[in-house]
Structure 1
Amino acid sequence: MPVPMNFNDVEYDITVKIDPVNRTIVGKSLITVHNPRELQLMLGAAYEVTQAEFNDGPLGVGREQINQMHIWNIPVHFRNQIQFLIQWKGTLAALDTSLDHQQTLGKPVAVSGESGSFLPDGSNWYPRIVGHLARYKISIELPSGQKGLVAGQLMKESESEQGYYAAFEFFHPTEGIDLMTGPYVIETQTHQSVNHKPIQLRTYFHPQISNLSKDYLDAVKRYLNLYESWIGEYPYTEFSVVSSPTPTGFGMPTLTYLGIDVLRLPFIRDTSLGHEVLHNWWGNGVYPDYSSGNWSEGLTTFMADYTYKEQESSEAAREMRLGWVRDFAALQPGQDAPLTAFTSRTHGASKIVGYNKAAMFFFMLRDHLGDMVFQRGIQGMWKVQRFRITSWQELQKVFEMISGQNLQPFFSQWLERTGAPAITISEVKNIAIDSGYELSITLKQSGPAYQLRVPVVIENSQGTTTHILDSHQEQQIFTLKLTDKPLSVSLDPDLRLFRQLALDEAPPILREVMVNAATQTVLLSAKAEIRKIAEILADKLQGRKPQIAALREPLSTAPTLVIGLESEVDAWLAANQLSARPDEINNKGTAQVWTLARDEEASLAVISAQDAASLEALIRPLPHYGRQSYLAFDGRQAIEKGVWPIQVQKVAVE
């Protein structure tokens, strides 16, 4: 979890020498703290301190036993400035290319190997002042054939038979330092900012994907133009796209670090890349105040991932909003949390809240304020809060100042409460009057009531019209005067509200068996090899050891995951009087996955494969498709996917 940031004026001047073949690191750091208060200095347990001094006096090694963190507690008795000189060395962990992104996120470890080194800030690979933003200079020395970088401006670079050298400087206080190395081929282009300042764009790509450089650099230019016109000038002098030997996806100031196989995917340039570029404004340009919640992932998701869907079509945008509320409907009691409690993504449930619900918050805020006022609020926040730690409350103040509105009720209900409002049309009455018709609509919402602008769509013989009803009570009657006879009333069919979908409204998706801790797994095969693969697949899908149900037991009312070969699945479905495999994926590919709704019971997910190899091929890709209702795979490639249609709340008018 990120630590709260304080305001001592801290500077690092670091030199590191890394040998990826032997996985060794040798470092020297001069740390300067201006106007110091009480502080703590820390270095990871994997390293040996060879020298430690402060203000020309001995500091000690900061620990009593090997394998303990080095920790130095410094009291307050220095008036103007304190300097620390620390030299350290150690052996980095071996690079493990079999880890997935979730495993890399879960436990940050400094790793090294010939195909790449990654020293994440969270691994405490350098001596640091705990809980403080800092500016820094870093010099990196590597063997010939290797190149490396950190976030910041490249000040010097040289390469010879003796090795590679690069010096970087980061001029603004920032949260931490991540370091990457690899056998990179570097391509460089210069781009002009909106104010005609040069921005150096680079790709640090492994040789096997260096042919992708031009396409990535062109895409980065497109995103810089988009976000500079929307928010304000790009805050740095460069941006780099860096390849990783593991399937990572990280964004840091001035760069993004993405897996080789991820970069090969043709859609990444149109999706994830823009998300990471935008983080240079939100997250790495304006810093979230983690003590009050991380707003930056939600705002970035809204202005990147969702914006690209809006640019594609209104249908694609609605489909993404459906995904957000559908994912939320899959959460179980205890998995939800208020947005003020979200700090960073740790598992599927936290992403559903911190990314999806927060993105929907900004979508609803735009609806509430209007496009022009919302855009001015975004630009105002960038002008006022750049390179500052910013809370949800400060974000609220900016939008209140720009809009002239009191937004406290809106912010507090969406940020501080768990759950979402459940809204239904409980009654509709229509009366013919001289001028047309008087339509009475009774809305109910779960208590305590939210203040909501509820869209209802009224259908008549001429088409449809949308009306906004201001609902702020648990039950409220609205009367509309209409000229044409109404035929039906639909509640929020465009999904413009973050709400709890009704039971028959929500199409079943794979996510339900993934995030629910009560999920039961049924393994249909008696063959040891198939069962072992199926258990691994269930573990990857659920992120925990699966609960295996006995094959001959009655079908559980809990969410259930069924895994087997084709003939076994067909026989099991027939024996349990369940629908056969759906036409959308029948006889397609080497494996099929689909969900079934079971009246008022929890949903069922079925995985059917031709053979052991086809089942094993699903282990890596399938966890990324939780938002789908059905899929067909040819090996590891998804060749068909979709979501069952939503059943809109629609009431016929008598």
Structure 2
Amino acid sequence: MNKPAGFVMFHGKSTAAWLYLIMLLSLPLQAATDIHYAITVAIDPSSRMLRGESQITLPSAGEFELVLSRRFTVSHLQANGVRVMRQAAQPGGVQSWRVITTAVEKNGLPQIILHWQGELAELDQSLDHAQTLGRPIPVSSNAGTFLPNSSAWYPAISGALASYKVELSLPFGQRGLVAGKLVQESESETDGYQARFTFDYPSDGIDLMAGPYRIRHDKIQSTAVSKEIQLRTYFYSEIDDLASGYLDSVKQYISFYEKWIGEYPFTEFSVVASPTPTGFGMPTLTYLGVSVLKLPFIRATSLGHEVLHNWWGNGVYADYSRGNWSEGLTTFMADYTYKVQQGSVAAREMRLDWLRDFTALAPGQDQPLLAFTSRTHGASKIVGYNKAAMFFLMLRDWLGESVFDEAIRTLWHERRFRITAWQDIQQIFEQVADRSLDAYFKQWLTRTGAPQISVTQALSNPTSDGRYRLAVVLTQSGDVYQLRVPLLMRNCSGNEEKLYADLQSRQQTFEWILSSPPDEIVLDPDFQLFRLLAAEEAVPILREGMVNQSARTLLLFQPDSESHRIAFTLVSNLQGRKPLQVNKNIDFHQTPLVVVGLTHQVDDWLAQRNLPAMPQTIQDEKATAYVWTIRSSDGAIITILSARDNDSLLALGRSLPHYGRQSYLVYDSATVIGKGVWPAQPPAVKVKANRS
């Protein structure tokens, strides 16, 4: 299954075909390495016609399901040592056959030969990112071709890993690829573009990309003896000048992760441009939209995330039937690691962002880590990427960096190209750490929610030798977790000392002997624990109105007006669903509210409800629209979108969903000219003198 790239990781799986794929992925993958596809495919982007031939080699015994999209017609089917029976139509536009292997003469392996052809859908470059990902269908035009594995564009054994060989033919001027090793390549005006790729490892699918690309080459020496890694960019002419920078960055990431984890598993890596605003990661390549590749920060963030997926996800396979751990480990070792490299402030801010995102969810909206398979909406990303990343961060903090890194290298050495579940990861970490981690894994993998911890008492009294005894009472609300809780003690002189408490029960008292009198205690000041934030820490952010399923929407327009239509579409895209609309007389009951209107409408509504006006600190004379959050007296978080006119409101559409972690935004047309998060600090508890 192709995995979405770091910056644009969003799965808008809305079609029946994608739901069918998710259903298949929920089944245990068959790890038979003796399934092999030999595919020859010719694509004409002008006519959008695909013609293919495939020879499928199967194990000598077994029963399988063969699937192919119904948009294609099978013109030839030949079976040797295989019984093939067509089945009833499957959901999502998939045709299928029941395949049972039988005896084969002369000790050969069972094989199926199919010829198929059909018309691909037309590439629609007007779609936005979510719409693109919500259409898992094979598309083509002269501007680009994308055949995702999820579109069932080739006959495949469902739920099974397989190696493959693909021979690709395209018209002159077009170039394409699939994941794997480029074995041979040629191009001429008479024969067009011809390329042959092989993938000798068990793979969970084949994605094909093509377009009028310019190909740039480079290489890097692997840590493995005599192994050279070929690097390529497949870019359009408009971004060809970016190629050398991307190639240099890929070199740095491969070197970095080879030192941390082990040898890069393949012989090449390519960065491929997509004509639509999407992003995927596959073995040996990443497929990113032109608009994404142009962003100046992508090389420093998402690119490394996709390179790392060649170890986790495409090198060691996640067992989707028992939870997808690969996104969390990749987020920790890529996105979070890059923040650590920037400094402690940037890393702390990312940890706080993760906790704010989780706090924005409605009760019951999250899921256990074991239930996460892929990102389908914002809530699942908060769990499967962020919470899982903090799972590994807390595990490293507990075991120590050297033990953690040894376990990571052992995981890579022992599980390469094998389907791997959370239980396998636990076993390896226990083996390296030489201790049971059952309680740790169980509490974080099987539960929803997060710990609720507070300092309920802090007392101090002098000792007979001139020092000070500090007693701190920690209390857990809700489920009880076993936690190593970081605390910060400030003394009366303003000096600080870090303390740690191994919390095992609902309420415990911890004591320390200090050299100076303590003044206050701060719980988890650097946000190193995955936990529910206290009210003082959970400042309102835009995410509340985006991912919280209980969020309601108030549109300050006449229902049949053009303004109402624009605002309704804007909020629908922001929330990924039909807004729950309410009227102006709405009462606040602690559920998030999104309010949209023109400037004078918003100002009047706020005044009528005795709510604070837009803060003067964010006002800008260039602004055409403002977005900000407030908290009502009863705790409800209100997201306000205030625009000068309809055009200003319409301009918010594309960028607004990407700023969920902000508390406010200032727009000049479609450009964000101001943003920020309201200040917050972990609550400090004053230490009292112990009079007893």
**2: distance between equivalents of 1:560 and 1:395?**
41
Q: Secondary structure at the match of 1:349?
A: helix
Deviation of 1:100 after TM superposition, in Å, equals: 3.0
Q: Secondary structure at the match of 1:54?
A: strand
- Do the aligned residues in 2 keep the contact of 1:134 with 1:173 (CA within 8 Å)? yes
| Structure 2 residue identity aligned to 1:515 | V
Q: 1:390 aligns with which of 399, 420, 427?
A: 420
Deviation of 1:602 after TM superposition, in Å, equals: 2.2
- Residue matched to 1:304: 334
- Do the aligned residues in 2 keep the contact of 1:287 with 1:390 (CA within 8 Å)? yes
Indicate whether 1:189 and 2:218 are aligned: yes
- Do the aligned residues in 2 keep the contact of 1:152 with 1:253 (CA within 8 Å)? yes
| Alignment map for 1:126-525 (pairs within 5 Å) | 126-162=154-190, 163-195=192-224, 197-434=227-464, 435-460=466-491, 461-525=493-557
- Do the aligned residues in 1 keep the contact of 2:231 with 2:247 (CA within 8 Å)? yes
Deviation of 1:475 after TM superposition, in Å, equals: 0.7
What is the TM-score of this pair, normalised by structure 2? Answer: 0.92
Q: Secondary structure at the match of 1:75?
A: strand
Deviation of 1:556 after TM superposition, in Å, equals: 5.7
**2: distance between equivalents of 1:171 and 1:465?**
54
Cα-to-partner distance string for 1:574-608 (whole Å, 9 max, x where unaligned): 22222221244212532221111224432000112
- Residue matched to 2:672: 638
Q: Secondary structure at the match of 2:619?
A: coil
State the identity %. Answer: 53
Cα-to-partner distance string for 1:326-370 (whole Å, 9 max, x where unaligned): 111111123111100100000000000000000000100110111
**Cα distance, 1:468–1:600 mapped onto 2, change above 3 Å:** farther
| Alignment map for 1:547-626 (pairs within 5 Å) | 547-555=580-588, 557-587=590-620, 589-626=623-660
- Do the aligned residues in 1 keep the contact of 2:84 with 2:98 (CA within 8 Å)? no
**2: distance between equivalents of 1:284 and 1:499?**
31
| Structure 2 residue identity aligned to 1:533 | I
| Structure 2 residue identity aligned to 1:142 | L
Cα-to-partner distance string for 1:514-546 (whole Å, 9 max, x where unaligned): 112221211123482222111111001110111
Deviation of 1:402 after TM superposition, in Å, equals: 1.1
Indicate whether 1:120 and 2:148 are aligned: yes
| Alignment map for 1:36-51 (pairs within 5 Å) | 36-51=61-76
Of residues 262-271 and 514-523 in structure 1, the stretch that sits farther from structure 2 once superposed is 514-523
| Structure 2 residue identity aligned to 1:445 | Q
**1: distance between equivalents of 2:61 and 2:661?**
49
- Do the aligned residues in 1 keep the contact of 2:324 with 2:370 (CA within 8 Å)? yes
Cα-to-partner distance string for 1:285-319 (whole Å, 9 max, x where unaligned): 00001111000000000000000000001010000
**Cα distance, 1:525–1:447 mapped onto 2, change above 3 Å:** closer
**1: distance between equivalents of 2:385 and 2:562?**
38
| Structure 2 residue identity aligned to 1:7 | A
Q: Secondary structure at the match of 1:125?
A: coil
- Do the aligned residues in 2 keep the contact of 1:45 with 1:66 (CA within 8 Å)? no
| Structure 1 residue identity aligned to 2:155 | P
**2: distance between equivalents of 1:98 and 1:646?**
40
Unaligned 5+ segments in structure 1 are none
Deviation of 1:58 after TM superposition, in Å, equals: 8.5
**Cα distance, 1:78–1:426 mapped onto 2, change above 3 Å:** farther
- Do the aligned residues in 1 keep the contact of 2:66 with 2:97 (CA within 8 Å)? yes
Deviation of 1:147 after TM superposition, in Å, equals: 0.9
**1: distance between equivalents of 2:648 and 2:80?**
64
Cα-to-partner distance string for 1:377-413 (whole Å, 9 max, x where unaligned): 1111111111111111111111111111211111111
Of residues 597-606 and 279-288 in structure 1, the stretch that sits farther from structure 2 once superposed is 597-606
Of residues 116-125 and 447-456 in structure 1, the stretch that sits farther from structure 2 once superposed is 447-456
- Residue matched to 1:108: 136
Cα-to-partner distance string for 1:124-143 (whole Å, 9 max, x where unaligned): 10000111100000011111
**Cα distance, 1:144–1:407 mapped onto 2, change above 3 Å:** same
**2: distance between equivalents of 1:650 and 1:83?**
69
Deviation of 1:40 after TM superposition, in Å, equals: 1.2
Cα-to-partner distance string for 1:612-640 (whole Å, 9 max, x where unaligned): 22211111111111111111222222222
Q: Secondary structure at the match of 2:533?
A: coil
Cα-to-partner distance string for 1:470-501 (whole Å, 9 max, x where unaligned): 10110111122112111101100100000011
**2: distance between equivalents of 1:416 and 1:271?**
30
Deviation of 1:56 after TM superposition, in Å, equals: 7.6
Cα-to-partner distance string for 1:452-483 (whole Å, 9 max, x where unaligned): 00011110115100100010110111122112
Q: 2:575 aligns with which of 529, 536, 542?
A: 542
- Do the aligned residues in 2 keep the contact of 1:202 with 1:239 (CA within 8 Å)? yes
Of residues 133-142 and 577-586 in structure 1, the stretch that sits farther from structure 2 once superposed is 577-586
Q: Secondary structure at the match of 2:348?
A: helix
**1: distance between equivalents of 2:440 and 2:266?**
34
Indicate whether 1:77 and 2:102 are aligned: yes
Q: Secondary structure at the match of 1:589?
A: coil
- Do the aligned residues in 2 keep the contact of 1:564 with 1:608 (CA within 8 Å)? yes
- Do the aligned residues in 2 keep the contact of 1:630 with 1:642 (CA within 8 Å)? yes
**1: distance between equivalents of 2:435 and 2:274?**
46
**2: distance between equivalents of 1:4 and 1:66?**
20
Cα-to-partner distance string for 1:139-183 (whole Å, 9 max, x where unaligned): 111111111110000011111113111111001011000001111
**What count of residue pairs does the alignment treat as equivalent?**
654
Q: 2:124 aligns with which of 96, 113, 125?
A: 96
What is the TM-score of this pair, normalised by structure 1? Answer: 0.97
**2: distance between equivalents of 1:64 and 1:610?**
52
**2: distance between equivalents of 1:219 and 1:597?**
43
Cα-to-partner distance string for 1:49-75 (whole Å, 9 max, x where unaligned): 000111088857666899963211123
- Do the aligned residues in 2 keep the contact of 1:106 with 1:346 (CA within 8 Å)? no
- Do the aligned residues in 1 keep the contact of 2:323 with 2:371 (CA within 8 Å)? yes
- Do the aligned residues in 2 keep the contact of 1:36 with 1:76 (CA within 8 Å)? yes
Q: Secondary structure at the match of 2:673?
A: strand
- Do the aligned residues in 1 keep the contact of 2:82 with 2:100 (CA within 8 Å)? no
Deviation of 1:653 after TM superposition, in Å, equals: 1.6
**2: distance between equivalents of 1:67 and 1:61?**
17
**Cα distance, 1:65–1:365 mapped onto 2, change above 3 Å:** closer
**Cα distance, 1:447–1:57 mapped onto 2, change above 3 Å:** closer
Q: Secondary structure at the match of 2:610?
A: coil
Indicate whether 1:651 and 2:685 are aligned: yes
| Structure 1 residue identity aligned to 2:428 | V
| Structure 1 residue identity aligned to 2:31 | F
**1: distance between equivalents of 2:484 and 2:94?**
53
Cα root mean square deviation, aligned: 1.8
- Residue matched to 2:18: none
**Cα distance, 1:608–1:14 mapped onto 2, change above 3 Å:** same
- Do the aligned residues in 2 keep the contact of 1:105 with 1:346 (CA within 8 Å)? no
**1: distance between equivalents of 2:640 and 2:475?**
36
- Do the aligned residues in 1 keep the contact of 2:218 with 2:231 (CA within 8 Å)? yes
- Do the aligned residues in 2 keep the contact of 1:53 with 1:60 (CA within 8 Å)? no
Cα-to-partner distance string for 1:27-50 (whole Å, 9 max, x where unaligned): 100000133311111111111000
- Do the aligned residues in 1 keep the contact of 2:82 with 2:111 (CA within 8 Å)? no
**2: distance between equivalents of 1:211 and 1:482?**
60
- Do the aligned residues in 2 keep the contact of 1:118 with 1:180 (CA within 8 Å)? yes
